[in-house]
Structure 1
Amino acid sequence: MARIDYDEDADASADDTSAPWLRRLATWALAVIGLGLGFLIPYTLYLNHEVGERFGQLRWQVPTRVFARPLQLSPGLAIDARTLKTELDAAGYREGDGRREGSYERSGNRWRISSRGFHDVDGVVKPRRIEVVLGGGRVVSVRDAARRESVKAARLDPARIATLYGQQQEERRLVRIDEVPELLVTGLQAVEDRDFNSHIGIDLTGMVRAAFVNLRSGETRQGASTLTQQLARSGLLGIGREQTLTRKGKEILYALLMEARYDKRTILEAYLNQVYLGQRGAQAIHGVAAGAEFWFGRDLKDLSTEQIALLVGIVKGPSAYDPRRRPEAARERRAIALGEMHEAGLIDDAEYKRALDAPLGVTKTPGHVAANRFPAFVDLVRRQLARDYPANELAGAGLRVMSSMSPSAQAYAEGGVTRTLKSLGKRRAPLQAAVVVTDVEDGGVRAVVGGKDFDTHGFNRAIEAQRPVGSLLKPFVYLLALAEPQKFSLATWVDDSAVQVKLGDGKTWAPKNSDGRSHGSVRLVDALAQSYNQSMVRVGMQVGPARIADLLRTLAGIDARPHPSLILGGTDQSPYAMAQLYQFVASGGEIQPLHAVRGVLDSEGRALKRYDKTPAPAQEGDAIAARLITVGLQQAVTNGTGRQLVGDGLGRLSPAGKTGTSNDGRDSWFAGWTGDYLAVVWVGNDQNETTGLYGATGAMRIWSAMFSRLPSAPLQVGDEGLDWQWVIGSNTTDPECAGARRLPFVAGFAPSYTPCPASQPVYEDESEGSGGWREWFGLDRNDAPATEEERE
């Protein structure tokens, strides 16, 4: 066999020629790998840290929500059908069979209501089905529908009235995955990411399948991105939506890192709370809970199959498939989602066919996610929270602010302003108005109207406007006088002749009655009811301006100059300040700080702080003086400056009230209360021009328009500490005496008794009787203070 010889030198030469190239290639490869690892590892670690930090921030991006007070239904509560429906509608209840949570059914005077569970300041309130019977303008009975037994009271979940956003105006309500309907969770995966439970963040198989499906259908029916990738590129992790390789690469890295750090349940829960589902102006709607409210006005648990399918379908493009603007596109997209759900076995044939034919089921207007429907009231809420919660801490912290607002009282206050100003505006310069309504029992603010354009943010006249209050201060001057029962009573005769007061600068102050007349000797109760100035000044000078100023400071924090003009309202105050002042009398002598916030709850529903503290009981002397003033102001309604309220049909409420008019009719005021509510109303204009209105012809008309619709219990004045007697002249007498009047005295201070005069004369002074000719025309001419010069 021939032997083959090798040329060893040639082989050596070949090795020497190729070796440098191989070495250089290996070196470059190792260098590239080293550089890649040197960059990729730190970059990956950086991204991993960023993912953890930003993912954890989701819980802090939830806006703070402000809720009205929960409506508590109990036998005897003053409420009618219109008001109950207003409250239910405000809270997002739907009229139906009354069996599903958040629904009601009405049959005549019988209402079946299924409330939702909620967290209140005193703990959790569970869902409940109740039957409520109304009759005679009040609740007749309340029964638990499940147990078929009467209950003392039942609370309904409150309406959301505002949302306080952080730096980004995003509507979001966090939900746990257990709170999301199973069909929504599985349907989302069937449509958007079938292999969600098995992939590692990216799904190559899904990409291939999506490409095939889209090619076969001729349209984009499936996307190649997993739910994890969608979450990565959403606003949650700060990746832009530009379509670039860099973005896609970063998205994939984020998705892989999220899958490595978190379990599937956590990722899916984050997605459900983050997914973008619509837009309303500058307000973005994020998360399935907010989306359900925005599109359907429902809670998640109340969504039907077709609504779930539509919500899932909208995920692909809330603008392209907007069911309000593009219903046909939305219907087609919903059909695709239903088809995927049916193919995955999530719904059967019958349900699939039914859902396909069902209407879209969206509300005509966005659901209960509006940013701020009541700017004046929410302004007050912000102010009262400011000392405990800085603005940047309050907005976006996911807190729940439980306010004291009554949706029905707010609606009736707004309606009263709108109707009255419309009727007055035809013959006067542009008018503005402000209203503050409070609860006489606890000082909770029930409604605030800051101006005639009450939907608009801006100058809040109820809180910020400082205007001359006129005769609104007179009851508090008489309050101090009546606190000295040995000197003053409602029956005391006071002099209403011309008066002069020497001032410290040597000048003389000579205020006159608004009608230009003196009325001689009149009872104190009539001087108050008719709002006479001259008798008021005489009593006020005996009391002393300094004591009046001290009283205003104590009751309402009003800092007023102790000048004689203070007696006739020589101070500029806001409607809110006057509501705080009158709350003392309306509550029966209790010092009750007004509050618009009942409490603040954290995102889990735990109470952080409460503001609805029970006020201290009224001191005996304060309570008696408050009762006497209340009786006097009830007289002002029955036969004084507020008597038009009786003509309006409000005599049934036995209200107490005081008109007020500033100089030249620039400001019209009325403060009045019933057994449930106190309302202070101001009417004027921002230019401080003459309006030609008195208290009774301007502000009191708004009060009347409001209380003509707002159910309320009649005002009843207790007798504790009082001694009611019939009086004639300066003595008590028998009720049979002609001209005798029944008035209350502080117990132990009633004047001496005298029998009826033998001749039985009838007292003819007009102040003791009907009020004279002015009453025929309903004129309010005696509540204006002195001129500007006199007030100075």
Structure 2
Amino acid sequence: MAVKLKLGGKRYDHEGIPVHHGTDRPMWKRAVMALLIVALACLLLGAMVFGYYYNHYQKVVDDRLNNGPLFSSTAQIYAAPREIRPGQGMTAASIAQDLHRAGYNTNTQLGTFRVSGDSITIKPGPASFHNTDGATINTSGGTVQSITAENGVALRAYELEPQLITGLSEDKNRIKRRLVTYNQIPKQLVQAVTAIEDRRFFEHNGLNFGRLVKCGVQDVLSQHAVCGGSTLTQQLARGFFLSPEKHVKRKLIEIMITLQLESRFNKQQIFEMYANQINLGQRGSFAVNGFGEASQAYFGKDLRQLDVAECALLAGIIQRPNYFNPFRHPERALERRNIVLRSMIETGALTPQEEERAEAEPIRLATQNVDASEAPYFVDLVHDQLQQRLGDQANGGTLRIYTSLDPELQKAAAEAVAEMMPRIDEMIRKRHKGDAPIKYPQVSLIALDPHTGQVLALVGGRNYGSSQLNHALSSRPTGSIFKPLVYATAFSQSVNGQPLGDTGPFTALTPLNDDTQDFGTGGRSYTPGNFERGEYPGMVTAATALYHSLNIATISLAQRVGYENVAAMARSAGIASARPTPSVAIGTYSATPMDMAGVYTVFANGGVHLNPWLLASVRNDKGDIVADFTPEARQVMDPKTAYLTQSLMEGVVTYGTASTVRALGFRAPAAGKTGTSHDVWFAGYSSNLLCIVWIGNDDYTDISDNLTKKVQGADTAAPIWAEFMKRAIQLPQYSDMKQFAAPPAGVTNYPIDLSSGQIADGSCSGKTATMAFLDGTQPHNTCSHMGDGSGLMDSLFGTNSDTAGTSVNGGGINNGAQPTNGSQSTVGPDGQPQQHRNFFQKMFGLGKHNDENNQPQQPATPPPSNTPH
């Protein structure tokens, strides 16, 4: 029997071993107890810290979510509505495709359509740009046959829903996004994203602890924070609230925000936010954020139209958008896409057969030309005009902005520039001389409807990603595209009954002096030359002077009609800088390409100046009108004056410096004018389309500096214009380029025999040109009844076979061997007879030696370096 003894306050067992009280525990037990206490304290402290930061970041999330919309307000910028007319080359299927891209049937609030054979019935919804009046369009053989309104009335035209050009966020980061809802995201895209990025997204609470631990260990061992491990919610938290740097504190904050998001939103809402926020690369100078914008940027499609292979490509880009950019690295993008497809087999989203079909599909990308697909210079200008006109209203929520742009014509413009500018670069390389670096010029192209002022296409530079400077708004010397205003001033005086000195009313056949002259004023000499020196000495007709852009003859005309009158005409037509000096006649004063587009509407539109416009209407997201904009128009020129000037410009295209466009295959009726100064220009128009092309250096130096041969508008800007117009005429909406409208009352067109300057009849043996005359100012004889008044025309056109020693001065004939008053002699400086080319030879370049050393006699006073042409 065991005996316990108590001695001196201690207890011992029967063997004399002390018996411990309850508090006298072994050391390891005390250590465990201490650890438990520390752990409890840490847990308590951790809970307090967690609670503090949880509440702190709850406030951060609250501020982010409650302080305005989740995403920066996005301006949805729309193109002009496409007009359908009987006779256009369209099918019911192509019209349906257009409506589907606009959102019809998918968004019934916008509108619906139904195709039945070769007919399509359209019904706009309450959110449509138009009213809710529907129509049925009947087609046959690929052509629109008729359009019938809902009430059975036949319509001459019907406008389709405008297409979305782009969505532009109002923030400093130049982000583009198109907001989408979860229901608008294809199921296969959700499956592709979760398969490659977060397979348990719809199951976890926002954190994948196993993956977090694994990545933490890898990062510690590698001493680099490279492992992923973030769920979609964590990626969303990081993208919305945090900087991209990787460190422990940021990761902890990321977790806090992730838990906040998971507690506030369901999985569909989180995925929708993720789908709109995720960065998917760069497009030009803009960041592409969200699947909606990426679908357009990479495939040119609405998100809802993507197939499984395209969904997999977008999902694959998420990891490294620039590295997997399919435009720059198609092989990498293809390999990554196929990895996503195989992941979708593992998650059960695809069968092996479906995956095999998708993997065999090539990558089909939209055009890489940002200017062609998104018109960024145009969009920037729209944005600037909105800020100017609406102020703070322009930033009030999501706006639907309806503009003037024609997307198909914009594509034609951008592609024409992209195709032709490398050829101009090559021309400059071949002509370059010396050691100075080669300067490759910039470019701008503006196309508008000459009868409405609607800007249909705009290219503001060579490459928007490289330079966002919109050259369509850069003020530059206009060169010879200004010259029609000089001739218009002279015609205007004749229309008002004012004769041109002692030569009577001004006409296309009025003689002008093209001899070298001093036009100096105020004691200062000014002796300009022509582009080709000595090419047209003596007297020339007004038609010849404009056809061949003769500087001296044009300034002499401006002198006769009054420099102040020319400058006033220019200012009324939109060139605000014009001043009454001799050089105003040859375009030394500056205007922007946009200004010049407005100037040429005057000639194309019966003397009415139209301000080029881009903005049509602004609506809120409910379709309510915020602002409508009315184009500005004013009559600045008599219709007769406009028509007479247009007639001369038709001759420029047919016979003169712009005949390049005919040689390049553009055959439709057109009027235009080349221009060459420091820069080069071409301004021209058809019955339904006006286009201005400008080319020049950003540093304002002469485009021909350090070149062996001067660059001209005829061999640079005109070819771009011709390429664009050839593309435009292939589009249904511009295929009906026809003859210009009939002349106004008081003006009549006459066929003029070029050899005699008389009205052509059956007896004429030479070529003829159609010229417009004020009634009563036309020639009164025909080829068969020339009478005695043809000597002047024989001399002007060089058609008299016995012209040796003959010159013309001020309308008089000098039959002496020596020239009078500065006209050119037929005897050269070496005493040898010189050959005079007749009108046709001058007009078409016949009889001119190809040997560059055999040049015409130079003027006594060399022209200045800036000789607009």
Q: Indicate whether the TM-score tops 0.5.
A: yes
Contact 2:483 2:586 in 1 (8 A): yes
**What amino acid is the match of 2:670?**
P
* 49 and 29 in structure 1: CA distance in 2 versus 1, 3 angstrom threshold: same
Contact 1:499 1:538 in 2 (8 A): no
Match of 1:417 in 2: 421
Unaligned runs of 5+ in 1: 1-9, 18-24, 94-100, 102-109, 213-222
Write out per-residue CA displacement over residues 244-276 of structure 1, whole angstroms, 9 at most, x where no aligned residue. 4x6665455434433554455544432333345
1:301 matched to 2:300: no
1:642 matched to 2:658: yes
Q: How does 1:728-747 map to 2 (within 5 A)?
A: 743-746=771-774
Match of 1:354 in 2: 354
**What amino acid is the match of 1:616?**
A
Contact 1:401 1:600 in 2 (8 A): yes
428, 433, 443: which one aligns with 2:453 = 443
Instruction: After TM superposition, give the deviation of residue 305 of structure 1 in Å.
Output: 4.8
Instruction: After TM superposition, give the deviation of residue 546 of structure 1 in Å.
Output: 2.1
Contact 2:514 2:540 in 1 (8 A): no
Match of 1:363 in 2: 363
Match of 2:738 in 1: 714
* 392 and 16 in structure 1: CA distance in 2 versus 1, 3 angstrom threshold: farther
**What amino acid is the match of 1:638?**
T
**What amino acid is the match of 2:747?**
D
**What amino acid is the match of 2:486?**
V
1:656 matched to 2:659: no
Match of 2:794 in 1: 765
**What amino acid is the match of 2:685?**
W
* 629 and 512 in structure 1: CA distance in 2 versus 1, 3 angstrom threshold: same
Instruction: After TM superposition, give the deviation of residue 359 of structure 1 in Å.
Output: 1.5
Quick one: distance in 2 between partners of 1:225 and 1:441? 58
The CA RMSD over aligned residues, in Å, is 6.0
Q: Matched residue of 1:696: which SS?
A: coil
**What amino acid is the match of 1:181?**
P
Write out per-residue CA displacement over residues 610-640 of structure 1, whole angstroms, 9 at most, x where no aligned residue. 55x3443747x53332111101211223333
TM-score, normalized by length of structure 2? 0.65
567, 573, 576: which one aligns with 2:585 = 567
Instruction: After TM superposition, give the deviation of residue 496 of structure 1 in Å.
Output: 2.0
* 781 and 591 in structure 1: CA distance in 2 versus 1, 3 angstrom threshold: farther
Match of 2:71 in 1: 60
Contact 1:187 1:341 in 2 (8 A): no
Q: How does 1:529-608 map to 2 (within 5 A)?
A: 529-598=547-616, 608=626
Quick one: distance in 2 between partners of 1:179 and 1:49? 31
Match of 2:845 in 1: 777
TM-score, normalized by length of structure 1? 0.70
Write out per-residue CA displacement over residues 719-745 of structure 1, whole angstroms, 9 at most, x where no aligned residue. 233331659999998967969986544
Contact 2:668 2:738 in 1 (8 A): yes
Q: How does 1:207-356 map to 2 (within 5 A)?
A: 228=233, 231-232=236-237, 234-238=238-242, 242=246, 244=248, 250-262=253-265, 265-275=268-278, 286-293=289-296, 298-305=301-308, 308=311, 324-325=331-332, 327=334, 330-341=337-348, 353-355=353-355
Instruction: After TM superposition, give the deviation of residue 424 of structure 1 in Å.
Output: 6.1
Instruction: After TM superposition, give the deviation of residue 543 of structure 1 in Å.
Output: 2.9
Q: How does 1:659-738 map to 2 (within 5 A)?
A: 659-662=674-677, 666-683=678-695, 687-688=701-702, 689=705, 691-711=709-729, 713-724=737-748
Contact 1:59 1:174 in 2 (8 A): no
**What amino acid is the match of 1:661?**
T
Contact 1:114 1:130 in 2 (8 A): no
Contact 1:162 1:378 in 2 (8 A): no
Q: Matched residue of 1:490: which SS?
A: coil
Match of 2:513 in 1: 496
Write out per-residue CA displacement over residues 520-558 of structure 1, whole angstroms, 9 at most, x where no aligned residue. 665544443344445433432343222322332232242
Write out per-residue CA displacement over residues 649-702 of structure 1, whole angstroms, 9 at most, x where no aligned residue. 43x32211223333xxx5443322112222333456664226424443443344
Instruction: After TM superposition, give the deviation of residue 51 of structure 1 in Å.
Output: 1.2
Quick one: distance in 2 between partners of 1:363 and 1:165? 32
Quick one: distance in 2 between partners of 1:553 and 1:131? 48
Instruction: After TM superposition, give the deviation of residue 476 of structure 1 in Å.
Output: 0.7
Unaligned runs of 5+ in 2: 1-9, 11-20, 25-34, 104-110, 112-117, 149-153, 215-227, 499-504, 800-837, 849-854
> RCO higher in 1 or 2 (8 Å CA, sep ≥ 6)?
1
Match of 1:176 in 2: 181
Contact 1:115 1:156 in 2 (8 A): no
Write out per-residue CA displacement over residues 405-457 of structure 1, whole angstroms, 9 at most, x where no aligned residue. 52113322432333355356423565635342322233233444556667631
Q: How does 1:39-118 map to 2 (within 5 A)?
A: 43-56=53-66, 59-61=70-72, 69=80, 71-76=82-87
| Percent identity of equivalent pairs | 24
**What amino acid is the match of 1:331?**
N
Quick one: distance in 2 between partners of 1:250 and 1:700? 61
Quick one: distance in 1 between partners of 2:713 and 2:284? 41
* 559 and 119 in structure 1: CA distance in 2 versus 1, 3 angstrom threshold: farther
Quick one: distance in 1 between partners of 2:263 and 2:381? 47
* 119 and 325 in structure 1: CA distance in 2 versus 1, 3 angstrom threshold: farther
Quick one: distance in 2 between partners of 1:754 and 1:367? 59
Write out per-residue CA displacement over residues 195-231 of structure 1, whole angstroms, 9 at most, x where no aligned residue. 87788x458xx8689999xxxxxxxxxx997755553
Instruction: After TM superposition, give the deviation of residue 716 of structure 1 in Å.
Output: 0.5
Match of 2:522 in 1: 505
Quick one: distance in 2 between partners of 1:116 and 1:419? 46
1:632 matched to 2:641: no
Contact 1:673 1:679 in 2 (8 A): yes
